[in-house]
Structure 1
Amino acid sequence: MAEFTTIARPYAKAAFDFAVESNNVDSWLEMITFMGQVASDDAVVSMLKATTAANEAADLMIKIGGEQLNENGQNLMKVMAQNERLLVLPEVSVLFAEFVDAYKQQVDADVISATELNDAQQAELAASLEKRLGRKVKLNVSIDKSLVAGVIVRVEDLLIDGSIRGKLERLGNQLQS
């Protein structure tokens, strides 16, 4: 939702800037990712919607966060609760992760393969993508036997379809034209 992104961006950016300044980017990423997952739980969403007092909502999130939240993370929950923005925590989590990826000059690549890729194949694919994209690549590999053979790679807006199924579909489209 575009509205949630607009609301979440300032919180994600402020948290990211603070994390960079305090040299705690990785721990903040873990903390915000965890809280984003908590805030996307249906039971938690219901409790947050039912809670009218900001301090009660903040206390709820801080109790759920437990040891995952440091003092600064607790302060973020309090500020978001005061502004009635705790429901956008999942989007804050996504945006924060994007800021971290850009900061570290890394990108996630979703790889769908017809067969399981061994470590050497994954390393070769990652190296090839890193060369093409100019950034460090983290592969998220899954298997889809309906591809017949080959792989599909998705990186942000880039789609590389090297599957037999994709090639057959393109060939069929050309023949119909």
Structure 2
Amino acid sequence: MSEAVSKRYADALFQLSNEKGTMDQWADELLVLKTIIDDNDTLMPFLKHPRISLEQKEQFINDVFRSFSEDIVTTLHLLATRHRLDIVPLVIDHFIRLVNDAKGIEEGTVYSVRALSQGEKERLEQTFAKRFGKQAIKLTSVVDPSVIGGIKLRIGNTIYDGSIQGKLNRIQRNIGAVN
């Protein structure tokens, strides 16, 4: 249920940002908000606490997020009024996905046994942007010793596994299929 509701809020924010020409600004602000939520374990429990009045929550939102766009703050007030502040991270994720789709950007994750250099990451982004027919691909690098060597790339629902562990798994499956 919260997935569908969060998509509706994200769609409304996206349409409004598109009309006002503030898409990039709002995307940046919402990413900052998501970082604040992720980095602060007490923020959401405080905002959802039943003993904190709506007026206190709204005052807190005004004080903490006063540098944010008025429409973002208004959305937070609306979500507080409707007791839906718990879906804020989902709304942000959906909004960012809509912005990326509008700009032809895809996000993905690259897994490697060591941290990739900026140059290696950029080459992967350029190569896979062409392969996916996107303007750009933004990759998040994750160090994963289980890949043993090579890389594993996840973009959307597609996984490209060029890792040694992946090759060993394929060999094992092929040997099992022969027996």
Partner Cα separation in structure 2 for residue 104 and residue 65 of structure 1 = 27
Moved more, 44-53 or 22-31: 44-53
Partner of 1:176: 176
User: Is 1:66 the equivalent of 2:75?
Assistant: no
Moved more, 167-176 or 108-117: 108-117
Tell me how many residue pairs correspond in the alignment.
Answer: 174
Partner of 1:66, secondary structure, is coil
Shift of 1:167: 0.3
What is the TM-score of this pair, normalised by structure 2?
Answer: 0.86
Partner of 1:42, secondary structure, is coil
Q: Runs of 5+ in structure 2 lacking a partner?
A: none
Shift of 1:166: 0.7
- The Cα offsets for residues 82-135 of structure 1, whole Å up to 9 and x where unpaired, read as 222222111111111111111111011211123443444333322221111111
Q: How does 1:3-82 map to 2 (within 5 A)?
A: 3-39=1-37, 41-48=40-47, 49-51=49-51, 53-67=53-67, 69-82=68-81
Partner Cα separation in structure 2 for residue 42 and residue 90 of structure 1 = 13
Q: Percent identity?
A: 22
Cα RMSD of the aligned pairs, angstroms, is 2.0
Shift of 1:164: 0.8
Partner of 1:87, secondary structure, is helix
Q: How does 1:71-150 map to 2 (within 5 A)?
A: 71-135=70-134, 136-150=136-150
Shift of 1:55: 3.2
Partner of 1:163: 163
Partner Cα separation in structure 1 for residue 120 and residue 34 of structure 2 = 33
Partner Cα separation in structure 1 for residue 170 and residue 35 of structure 2 = 39
Partner Cα separation in structure 2 for residue 115 and residue 73 of structure 1 = 38
Partner Cα separation in structure 2 for residue 51 and residue 176 of structure 1 = 60
Partner Cα separation in structure 2 for residue 146 and residue 84 of structure 1 = 42
Partner Cα separation in structure 2 for residue 58 and residue 90 of structure 1 = 18
Q: Which amino acid aligns with 1:101?
A: N
